[in-house]
Amino acid sequence: MLRTPCDDVSVFDETVVALCKDLLDTVTAAEGRAGLAANQIGVGLRAFSWFIDGVSGVVVNPRLVATEGEQDGDEGCLSLPGLWYPLRRAEYAAVEGVDAAGSPVRVEGTGLMARCLQHECDHLDGKLYVDRLERAIRRQALQQLLDG
């Protein structure tokens, strides 16, 4: 499921509201989580939540609409526990989508928020952060995954 692009949400009903609540509850339940995509909990719909610096939210049908600058830093993922590798991302990112009721939203930020927005949009496109690692580092990450 993590390698399959997620489908857009087309009907905004109680199922979508429940999904958004589940995403928010899950991302805020434990320390160390910045974001969570729907496909990480087995749902193939375009939605993700975030919890950064005490602020949480959810975006349905997000699209990355702007990036600027560069930042270096280690990145990890709930789907690949224990793996942290250096990955260059944009320093600023903006995502547009809708909320659980279908009303337009725009989420933007720098630093960790920008990294989160890019990471979660990648998830919804069927990509993992290890896919973006430099070749030698990616080989090391994949070997670590195989070694368990």
Give catalytic residues, as residue numbers: 120
Distance separating alpha carbons of residues 56 and 35, to the nearest angstrom: 9
For the chain, how far is it from start to end, CA to CA, in angstroms?
20
Distance separating alpha carbons of residues 140 and 107, to the nearest angstrom: 33
69 Cβ contact list (under 8 Å, min separation 6): 90, 91, 92
Give the chain's length: 148
Determine how many CB atoms are found less than 10 A away from the CB of residue 82: 9
Planar angle of CA 36, 138, 48, nearest 5 degrees = 10
CB–CB of 33/77 below 8 Å?
no
